[in-house]
Each structure stands twice: as structure tokens, then as C-alpha cells.
């Protein structure tokens, strides 16, 4: 069987490298082109020595990856907001599947993008074509997709955690408070003071309190799930760790719903899912147990004193929160087995 040829734009960033790492083990994919603005002309293994003797592809321009010469069937872009539209257009016009790991196609309402990302949609037709997909929630949309918006990492942990109770109408939607913590790779490979080792080591604090860019995306997914507009309180924190996200979500059940019913909602929603695992009663989701994998672990807890439901959702921000989910979306869109190339089991230590 002929292998699918993949191009990776932004291959030297953390999420871009993670995508390369995973695609190299995908039995039905061959990486045919990689690009980097910062390191164009160098070999990828020069930037990441762990690829020595494994992947020595030359880092090309973004334009090369989308050209006929590169001969890609699918192009992934791991770029900052505001850079993906022209790449998406070239892929769309040439019949290539385009998967954006950045934020350019995540928000349906341009007003939200203007408010939160301070940009505008220059090619509005492309945004009409784009399909947003957390696979467990939206896989049916992917069958004819040509532009896929890969979700944000925080958004994935929060929305997988909340979806079963939100979709069932079991929550008081005004009560949702989300406390999320992410490893430093979530900030990207670029240098910044808050991720400088002396600043983040032995430190722990919230950042972008109640104003993080993933907020409107969380609200968009959850509002669609419950059929009405809702707002959440979302506060992210920077963990002194390399990778992982754990989201602790506090919410109140509507009158008439008992905690004993809630577990059944999750079992029905995720019982057949390969990558979302509801933990046994009494267990707590932990980023250690999902490291390097495409898994999301969810645990449910009852605060009997206040009557609140507490949901804990943990995933690897570089895999299920970024590169692994992008491959999962590709697999579905290209009619491959959904878990192909994503079977890594987390290490114990």
C-alpha cells in the first residue's frame, strides 16, 4: 500500500517536533518535507540530535512544503496565530489536506478572533470550509474535511472532562470554574521570562488569569454541546514540569440529578473510546500516567459537603493536546484506523 506523504511546517517548535516524532512511527505515513523559518537550510537532526540516523530531512521554506515538488498529501502547520491562512489556501487549492495546529481556524465567530487574537480573517471562504475537531466529540465532521482546526491543549482537557454532563443538560452552566495547570512546553520553544529556568523552577502561579485565549474556544465547544451560550471562569497555571495538563473543574449539578447518575453518563460517552479513559472510583487523574501518550484520563469526585461535582482531566499537552490529536484527526479524515501510530503506552516513571 502506498504511504501517505506528510509535510510538517514549523517542525522545529515543540509541537512540530512532537508531530515528527509520532509520524516517524506511523506505519502508513512517510514524512516527505519539513520546514522552519529559524533553521531553514539545516538538517532537522542538527536541531534535534535524537533524530540522528533516523530523520535527516533538510528544513525547507514553508512554500516548498506546499509545492508540487514536495508532493505532500497532507500538510500540518504548527505556527503562531496569524500565519496559517496563506498556507491553508495553497493546500486547499492544490487538493491537499491541511491540519492547523495553531489557532487560526478554531473560532467560528471572527469577532471572537479579533477580540482575543487581535487579528482578522483575511480569507473568509477558508473559514467556512474549516472543520473543528476534538475527535471523540466531532469525528463525524471529518469525513469530507479539507481544512481541520486542531483544538487547543487546555480546551481538549476541559471539554473532554465536561462534555458528558454538559451534553446531558445535567449541569448548572453558570457554575463552571476551571483550574488548569500546564507544563512549560505549552508556551512553545521561544524564549520568555516566565519559562526561564530560574523563574519557573520551584515556582507555581496562575497566568493570564480570566483572560487566556483558550477561553472563547472552551465556551464555543461547550455552548454547542448544551445548545445555549454559556460562560466559564478559566484560570491556567504554569507547572514547573516539561509536559502535561491537569484540569480540575468545579461545577454544580442541576436539581434532580444525583452524583450516582453521573458516572453512567461518562461510561456511555467514553466506554468505547480508545484514548479517553474514565478512572475507577477513588482514583485521581495524574499527568504522570498519560505522559508521551495520546490518552486523556478523567476522574470524578463528589464534594458531599457542598454538593459540587469535581472533574479531573489529565493529558499530555504535546500529544493528546497537540500532535497526537492532529494525527488522530488525520487518520479519521483519510480513512485510516483512528489509533494508527498512536499506541504508545505511558512509562511508569
The residues annotated with a catalytic role in the active site are 153
How many angstroms separate the Cα of 237 from the Cα of each of 90, 204, 248?
37, 7, 11
DSSP state letter for 151: P
Cα–Cα distance, 57 to 184 (Å, whole number): 27
Cα–Cα distance, 280 to 292 (Å, whole number): 22
Sign of CA dihedral 274, 301, 250, 260: positive
Dmax (CA) for the chain in angstroms is: 64
H or E segment to which residue 124 belongs: helix 124-129
Q: Which residues pair with 299 in a beta bridge?
A: 312
Spatial contact of 11 and 34, defined as CB atoms under 8 Å apart: yes
Spatial contact of 298 and 289, defined as CB atoms under 8 Å apart: no
Go through 136-148 and write b for each residue having 16 or more CB atoms within 10 A of its CB, e for each that does not: bbbbebbeebbbb
Cα–Cα distance, 78 to 144 (Å, whole number): 22
Spatial contact of 38 and 12, defined as CB atoms under 8 Å apart: yes
Amino acid at each position: 500500500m502506498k504511504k501517505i506523504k506528510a509535510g510538517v511546517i514549523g517542525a522545529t517548535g515543540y509541537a512540530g517536533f512532537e508531530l515528527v516524532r509520532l509520524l516517524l512511527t506511523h506505519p502508513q505515513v512517510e514524512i516527505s518535507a519539513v520546514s522552519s523559518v529559524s533553521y531553514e537550510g539545516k538538517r532537522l537532526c542538527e536541531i534535534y540530535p535524537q533524530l540522528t540516523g533516523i530523520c535527516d530531512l533538510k528544513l525547507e521554506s514553508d512554500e516548498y512544503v506546499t509545492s508540487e515538488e514536495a508532493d505532500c498529501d497532507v500538510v500540518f502547520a504548527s505556527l503562531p496565530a496569524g500565519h496559517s491562512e496563506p498556507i491553508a489556501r495553497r493546500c486547499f487549492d492544490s487538493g491537499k489536506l491541511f491540519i492547523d495546529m495553531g489557532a487560526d481556524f478554531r473560532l467560528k465567530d471572527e469577532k471572537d478572533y479579533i477580540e482575543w487574537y487581535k487579528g482578522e480573517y483575511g480569507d473568509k471562504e477558508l473559514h467556512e470550509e474549516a472543520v473543528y475537531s476534538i475527535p471523540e466529540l466531532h469525528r463525524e465532521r471529518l469525513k469530507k474535511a479539507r481544512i481541520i482546526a486542531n483544538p487547543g491543549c487546555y480546551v481538549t482537557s476541559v471539554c473532554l472532562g465536561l462534555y458528558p454532563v454538559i451534553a446531558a443538560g445535567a449541569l448548572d452552566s453558570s457554575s463552571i470554574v476551571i483550574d488548569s495547570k500546564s507544563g512549560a512546553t505549552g508556551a512553545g520553544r521561544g524564549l520568555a521570562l516566565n519559562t526561564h529556568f530560574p523563574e519557573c523552577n520551584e515556582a507555581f502561579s496562575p497566568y493570564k488569569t480570566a483572560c487566556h485565549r483558550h477561553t472563547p474556544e472552551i465556551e464555543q465547544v461547550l455552548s454547542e454541546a448544551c445548545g445555549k451560550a454559556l460562560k466559564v471562569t478559566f484560570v491556567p497555571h504554569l507547572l514547573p514540569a516539561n509536559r502535561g495538563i491537569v484540569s480540575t473543574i468545579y461545577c454544580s449539578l442541576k436539581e434532580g440529578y444525583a452524583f450516582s447518575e453521573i458516572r453512567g453518563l461518562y461510561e456511555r460517552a467514553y466506554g468505547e473510546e480508545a484514548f479517553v479513559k474514565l478512572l475507577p472510583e477513588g482514583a485521581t487523574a495524574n499527568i504522570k500516567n498519560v505522559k508521551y501518550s495520546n490518552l486523556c484520563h478523567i476522574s470524578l469526585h463528589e464534594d458531599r459537603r457542598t454538593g459540587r461535582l469535581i472533574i479531573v482531566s489529565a493529558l499530555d499537552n504535546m500529544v493528546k493536546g497537540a500532535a497526537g490529536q492532529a494525527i488522530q484527526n488525520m487518520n479519521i479524515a483519510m480513512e485510516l484506523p483512528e489509533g494508527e501510530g498512536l499506541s504508545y503506552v505511558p512509562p511508569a516513571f
